[in-house]
């Protein structure tokens, strides 16, 4: 037994002890709570003693000597003499050496501390530790980076109720730990992250310290070996404002500086075959629209020539296609002709559905595609390499435009990693509302790209950190390829779905009452999920939290 571990009770003999589960009677002057680590050494005839470590999964208390419910009132008045017994159920996590025997009744049970705790949670086997949070008693919890960066596994999935589960905040905490710890070693400087800002402008302040950070939160960061501050290298991108005429002004409200407007050119739209992302809502796999879109993309690429006089436009039969509106008119005219090679043999109903959606895209996201009015378009192309964390704001866009931007950005990043042909440098993709982009039913071009990321991204060093309210609505293969599963506050009905089968029954009940900042973490090394908490963000999450280096609230333009 190592120094620091303390005896808290004995293995019960009134309950069956098995190699995987046993009960510990808790001493009157001690306690055990959920997620505590327990150590028992049991003798084995003819072999060395076996160290069994485990995690407390349930705790109960009851009167011994009472038979009826009303006896509790007699006990209170001193009429009925009874004893109070407290017992904890322990689920075994590790055997050293691996001899799977039950602990003998009457053996002392210890709360594991220090090196004993690290052994119980396999932290002693982790060579590259990434801080993941703190236990409820303030002890650090680590992830094995080998299962995150693609060496042995990859991807993180986070589920929970919107606004309460703090899914995006925890995803950002993991990024902060990656970029401000020594876990990545020499690869840290070149590692990149792309984050989509889907709600408000919360993520547009990552480069600013949080003025409301408390001393208690700073102590939490210190326990985890992390500095408390803002992200050091952040690039902020927002969609071009639709009513800005020919100027490329970012569509933001709370922040006026440090944000670059993004858009695509007509030439990029044609050459990169981006039309499919205008039709990114989930379709029945038998639908002919996807075939028609692919045919139109190829026909466009063949028919168009690059305009020698402008980097953003193309030529068709010598005529300049100078805007997205003109490009849509060209497509509609060609597709509407029966027997056209652009159309193929699809039905009139399919063509009508295609044209309706093309018109909707023209109206909802036409400002994101520029032609002759694009000046220096290379300055407004989202640059993944300029900063360590790239934030792409889409919260002001219509759903159709959100899908377009998300699909195009992920496609470009994935193709970039494919061309590189190696894992390093790593690229982390943080995407909220995963059920919107990779739904369980139907097909879409974004879902196809995300499946590629989930299934092949590990070998390419592209890591998906996905979040959603309901894992039951996300494509199964995306969930199944996630090495780490994290759960915040869950809806009670959702918690009973098979997607949460990794959670024991008592843990599912706990998930319904978790507070913001508390998560349940399942990772490959530990067979039992454990509850953790993570520190309050040390970076600003809204304008009134933004601070200068001196700590004062930094008043910025807020549009008022």
Q: What is the pLDDT of residue 526?
A: 86
CA distances from 141 to 129, 137, 144, 369 (A): 9, 11, 10, 46
- Are 344 and 380 within 8 A, CB to CB? no
Q: Would you state the pLDDT for residue 163?
A: 77
CA distance 244 to 455: 41
In the block, tokens 């050293």 appear at: 96
pLDDT at position 547, please? 63
Looking at residue 216, its pLDDT comes to 94
3-state secondary structure of 76: helix
d(CA 516, CA 110) in angstroms, rounded, equals 31
- The end-to-end CA distance of the chain, in Å, is 64
- Which residue, among 367, 197, 357, 393, has the nearest Cα to 278 in the 3D structure? 357
Give, for all 560 residues of the chain, the pLDDT tens digit: 556 789 999 999 999 999 999 999 999 999 999 899 999 999 999 999 999 999 999 999 999 888 888 888 888 888 888 889 999 999 999 999 999 999 999 999 999 998 899 988 999 889 899 999 999 888 999 999 999 999 999 999 999 998 776 899 999 999 999 999 999 988 999 999 999 999 888 899 999 999 999 999 999 999 999 999 999 999 999 999 987 667 888 888 878 788 999 999 999 999 999 999 998 876 655 578 888 999 999 999 999 999 898 989 999 988 899 999 999 999 999 988 887 888 888 888 888 999 999 999 999 999 999 988 888 888 899 998 889 999 999 999 999 999 999 999 999 999 999 998 888 899 999 999 999 999 998 888 999 999 999 999 999 999 999 999 999 999 999 999 999 999 999 998 999 999 999 998 888 988 999 998 899 999 998 888 999 999 999 999 888 888 654 444 444 333 32
pLDDT at position 399 is 92
Which residue's entry shows tokens 């590189």? Answer: 420
Strand partners of residue 14: none
The per-residue pLDDT for 552 is 47
Q: Is 467 in contact with 432 (CB distance < 8 Å)?
A: yes
For domain 129-262+379-545, the CATH architecture is: 3-Layer(aba) Sandwich (3.40)
Report CA-CA distances (Å) from 21 to 17, 63, 87, 312.
6, 23, 13, 66
Nearest of 169, 158, 226, 227 to residue 485 by alpha carbon: 158
Q: Among 139, 112, 186, 203, which residue's Cα sits nearest to residue 431? A: 203
**507 Cβ contact partners less than 8 Å away, ≥ 6 residues apart:** 57, 520, 529
Give the pair of three-digit tokens for residue 217.
């939160």
Tokens 């063509």 belong to 351
Question: 153: closest CA among 480, 526, 501?
Answer: 480
SS3 49: strand
Burial 53-67 (b: 16+ CB within 10 A, else e): bbbbbbbeeeeeebe
How far from chain centre, in Å, is Cα 313? 38
Alpha-carbon distances of 501 from 147, 317, 368, 492, 510, rounded to whole Å: 21, 60, 42, 14, 14
- Cα separation, 352 vs 350, in Å, equals 5
Using DSSP's 3-state secondary structure scheme, residue 22 falls into strand
Query: In the chain, what are the domain boundaries?
Result: 6-124, 129-262+379-545, 264-370
Residue 108 has φ and ψ, to the nearest 5°, of -70, 140
Q: Where are the alpha helices (DSSP H) in 181-265?
A: 215-223
Gap between the Cα atoms of 158 and 487, Å rounded: 6
Pairwise CA distance, residues 166 & 163, whole Å: 6
Q: What is the pLDDT of residue 199?
A: 84
What does pTM read for this prediction?
A: 0.90
DSSP-based three-state secondary structure for 26: strand
């Amino acid at each position: 037994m190592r120094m620091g571990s303390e005896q808290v009770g004995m293995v019960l003999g009134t309950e069956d002890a098995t190699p995987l589960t046993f009960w510990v009677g808790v001493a009157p002057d001690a306690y055990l709570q959920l997620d505590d680590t327990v150590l028992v050494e049991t003798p084995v005839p003819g072999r060395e003693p076996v160290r069994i470590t485990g995690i407390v999964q349930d705790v109960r208390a009851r009167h011994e000597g009472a038979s009826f419910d009303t006896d509790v009132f007699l006990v209170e008045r001193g009429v009925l003499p009874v004893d109070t017994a407290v017992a904890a159920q322990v689920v075994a996590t590790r055997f050293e050496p691996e001899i799977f025997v039950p602990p003998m009744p009457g053996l002392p049970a210890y709360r594991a501390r220090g090196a004993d705790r690290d052994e119980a949670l396999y932290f002693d086997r982790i060579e590259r530790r990434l801080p993941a949070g703190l236990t409820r008693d303030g002890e650090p919890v680590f992830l094995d980076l080998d299962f995150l960066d693609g060496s042995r596994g990859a991807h993180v999935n986070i589920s929970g109720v919107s606004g309460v589960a703090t899914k995006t905040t925890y995803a950002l905490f993991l990024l902060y730990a990656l970029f401000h710890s020594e876990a990545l070693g020499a690869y840290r400087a070149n590692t990149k992250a792309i984050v989509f800002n889907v709600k408000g402008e919360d993520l547009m302040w990552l480069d600013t310290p949080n003025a409301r950070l408390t001393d208690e939160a700073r102590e939490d960061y210190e326990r985890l070996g992390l500095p408390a501050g803002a992200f050091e290298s952040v690039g902020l991108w927002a969609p071009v404002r639709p009513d800005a005429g020919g100027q490329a002004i970012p569509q933001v409200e709370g922040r006026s500086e440090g944000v670059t407007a993004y858009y695509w050119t007509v030439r990029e739209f044609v050459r990169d075959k981006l039309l499919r992302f205008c039709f990114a809502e989930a379709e029945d796999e038998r639908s002919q629209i996807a075939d028609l879109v692919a045919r139109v993309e190829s026909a466009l690429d063949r028919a168009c020539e690059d305009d020698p006089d402008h980097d953003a436009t193309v030529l068709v039969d010598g005529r300049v296609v100078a805007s997205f509106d003109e490009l849509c008119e060209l497509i509609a005219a060609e597709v509407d002709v029966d027997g056209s090679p652009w159309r193929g043999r699809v039905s009139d109903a399919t063509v009508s559905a295609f044209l309706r959606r093309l018109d909707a895209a023209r109206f909802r996201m036409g400002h994101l595609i520029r032609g002759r009015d694009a000046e220096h378009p290379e300055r407004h192309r989202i640059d993944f390499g300029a900063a360590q964390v790239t934030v792409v704001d889409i919260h002001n866009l219509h759903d159709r435009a959100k899908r377009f931007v998300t699909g195009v950005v992920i496609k470009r990043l994935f193709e970039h990693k494919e061309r590189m042909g190696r894992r390093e440098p790593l690229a982390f993709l943080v995407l909220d509302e995963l059920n919107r982009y990779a739904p369980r039913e139907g097909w879409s071009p974004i879902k196809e790209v995300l499946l590629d990321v989930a299934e092949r991204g590990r070998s390419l060093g592209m890591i998906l950190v996905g979040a959603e309210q309901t894992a039951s609505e996300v494509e199964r293969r995306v969930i199944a390829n996630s090495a780490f599963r994290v759960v915040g506050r869950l809806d009670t009905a959702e918690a009973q779905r098979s997607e949460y089968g990794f959670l024991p029954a008592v843990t599912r009940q706990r998930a319904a009452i978790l507070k913001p900042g508390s998560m349940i973490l399942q990772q490959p090394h530990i067979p039992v999920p454990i509850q953790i908490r993570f520190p309050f963000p040390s970076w600003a999450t809204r304008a009134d939290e933004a601070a200068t280096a001196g700590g004062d609230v930094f008043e910025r333009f807020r549009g008022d």
